[in-house]
Chain A
Amino acid sequence: MDFRFSEEQTMTADVVRELLTDVCQPADLRRLMGEGAARDEARWAKILEMGLAGALVSEDQGGLGLKAIDFVQIAEACGYAGLPEPLVENAGVALPLLAAFSGNVRAAALLERALAGEVTVTVAHPANPFVADADTAEAVLVVRDGAVHLVETGRAKIVAQPSVDPFRRLFTVEFEPSAETLIADTEEAAAPLAAALDRGALFAAAQMLGIAQRCVGLGVAYAKERQQFGKPIGSYQAVKHHLATAQVKIEFARPVLHAAAAQLEQGDLYSRARISQAKLACADAADVAARTSIQVHGAMGYSWEVDVHFFLKRGIALTNWWGGPAFHRERVAARVFARPLGPEHTFAREAENA
């Protein structure tokens, strides 16, 4: 029992965090928004240079062979930075899902190009009514009646569904399923799709934890600067207590997220409940932190000029991405109402309680 990250895990996340600090500041986001471009190609190239596209793909298949626990802090850093590019969805979810079907020739060929950073892949999973980044992706993994189809975006009808978050690019995807597009039948697809949902929910949670900390950070910075009644507003208890309450939310979402990441590979009722708990806790933290930050900023907080709204909007989006609160509460309920409870079961797994 050792609930700590390894030095390597923390170092990898630090490198990503430092890169994003350099190239993904709110000023960079605003420039991208002004250009109306789908992504910042220079920034995306730098991220790909780190070799992270294949982070969660096994070494046998040409990836880095990392696990969710190795990637979770990277996803937090992406949330903290408000990164528009699809590092989390592509490397964190789509490519490990694609790799599960690499017995298929088309999937294998696409995986090779995606690992090389030439193209990205996205997923149309039943948990999400929309598909992210379909315009820049080479292909979409679409679930139809439980089976998985691999569809080149050039051969599908893609309809934009504009999001309030200027850096989220959502679409609906229509295509004609055929024997040619099919890469995995229902039986073969079931376990990889469940794992994709787990990863999607976990990394959405991680991004929301990053968002929450960013919102508190923005609020703290403003509260130290802004003076009223002759003193920084952050010296008043009313303001302090708002921000402290948001930080408490963060402090008790974080260990849930990290335990969920460590337990993801179990793929059982217990690990799924923990992932769902993390999704709920991180969404709650992001919600409280964003609202607190806006309140602490006063009228400025309601302005377009202050950056908090970018993080507020990403939080709203991710709260419902890869399953909304009601969906995840039911996954928690499935564990709570049907399995043993109590302190001796904190780290339980199905294999031990079957």
Chain B
Amino acid sequence: MDLNYTDEQKAFRQEVRSWLEKHVPETPLPSFDASREGFEAHRAWERVLADGRWGMVTWPESYGGRGLDLIQWLIFEEEYYRAGAPLRVNQNGIFLLGPTLMEYGTDEQKSRFLSSMASGDEIWAQAWSEPQAGSDLASVRATAVLEGGEYVLKGHKIWSSRAVFADWAFGLFRTDPASQRHKGLSLIFFPLNAPGVRVQAIPQIDGETGFAEIFLDDVRVPAFNRLGGEGEGWNICMATAGFERGLMLRSPARFQVAARKLVELYKAHEAEVEPTVRAAVLQSWMDAEAYALSIYATASRLAAGGHIGPEASTNKIFWSEMDIAIHKAALSILGARAELLRSAPEAGDIGRWLDGYFFSLAGPIYAGSNEIQRNIIAERMLGLPRA
């Protein structure tokens, strides 16, 4: 065990830091979920990142990456959050679909989709859930029927993050109409502007439109758009979910920066708050550190050839519950001002804590609800019998 960065890793950190200092926009970009303008501003930022080959540092150079390892990815993420750089509008693509494409895609699919993903030219949405297939994802009903080298997609997807403004979506479709449950599903990509696609925004509790419904009415896409074999969609989907829960969706730096800001907020209001808040603030810092250390341990194991397993589910539970706790602590410091909009004359330093709190409440639901994660832990880590 060696918990020291190598000289090379230290130099890499400096390189990332100085690039970000030169390029990160001085004023925060408008939300990518609230308007087309905000979305395009984030796309423009993705292009800046891609031009510097910082879009996805772990990807091979041929797809716009730098071929770096997961420890270097963590260092990049630490500097990225430290710099307060914009949220990644293409996270569904670069963090989830990208690694899955890398593992299951043909060379032709990789060259078609990965570079445009890394550059931000094509921004991706997820299309997994359906009105009757939430936690029970294997009950998807949307169908894809092969006709003359094309799939004809039909169905209704929902809770699709980024779908309002994104260019493409990837989703699960039943390619074998006679199949049940996990069998007969395939993972298929479709352009969100294809004929027969209708996207309807769903307003969220924060008033923004981060997710949407997608209605597919005889949407035709080439068979080329299927990732992996026909009927293998479920297993590929679970691999994607493993990455999502396990490593890439929420990098630890996000919470370490939030914990740092929480400590700063606490210090500014220490005299006004009740003593229990101090313990909550310290716990937030400790939890963010624990999550970071855990991810370093996982990254070290993966870098040495290990695989991510059901412990990914413990990560998802931990960060989602921590995120709520961090924001709750902040709201308790803000007290009566917590409910104010930032436009209120007396808002002072309330920042974005309330928005962050709302968003944190979605954490235990998306990417597989925490109830599902606890089932996975109980059955696959602890060996308890299935229901």
Which residues of A does B touch, CB under 8 Å?
1-6, 9, 69, 216, 220, 223-224, 231-232, 234-237, 239-241, 243-245, 247-248, 251-256, 258-259, 262-263, 274, 277, 280-281, 329, 332-333, 336-337, 341-344, 346-347
Contact = CB atoms under 8 A, between A and B. Distances in A.
B269 interface: no
A347 B75 CA distance: 12
B382 A3 contact: no
Interface in B3-48: 3-6, 9, 13
Contacts of B260: 341-342
A332 B282 CA distance: 7
B300 A2 contact: yes
Nearest to A236: B387
A251 B314 contact: yes
B378 A234 contact: yes
16 contacts: A1-B6, A1-B300, A2-B300, A2-B304, A4-B300, A5-B1, A232-B384, A236-B387, A239-B384, A241-B374, A252-B314, A332-B282, A337-B263, A343-B252, A343-B257, A346-B256
B1 A237 contact: no
A251 to B, nearest CB: 4
Contacts of A6: 1
B78 interface: yes
A256 B287 CA distance: 10
Given A2-B1, A3-B3, A4-B300, A237 B387 contact: yes
Contacts of B294: 251-252, 254-255
A248 B256 contact: no
B296 A3 contact: yes
Contacts of A347: 3-5
A4 B297 contact: yes
A4 B382 CA distance: 23
B379 interface: yes
Interface string B361-387: 000000000010111011101111111
B290 interface: yes
A342 B3 CA distance: 17
Contacts of A251: 294, 311, 314, 318
Given A255-B297, A343-B292, A336 B282 contact: yes
B1 A244 contact: no
Given A248-B377, A252-B291, A243 B382 contact: yes
Nearest to A70: B1
Contact of B301 (A4, A241, A336): A4
Interface in B256-278: 256-257, 259-260, 263, 267, 278
Given A4-B304, A252-B291, A259 B3 contact: yes
Contacts of B79: 344
A263 B373 CA distance: 32
Most-contacted residue by chain B among A4, A253, A280, A336 (CB, 10 A): A336
A350 B253 CA distance: 21
Given A1-B2, A343-B81, 15 more contacts: A2-B2, A2-B303, A3-B3, A3-B299, A4-B301, A235-B387, A241-B371, A241-B374, A244-B381, A252-B314, A256-B290, A336-B285, A343-B77, A343-B256, A343-B257
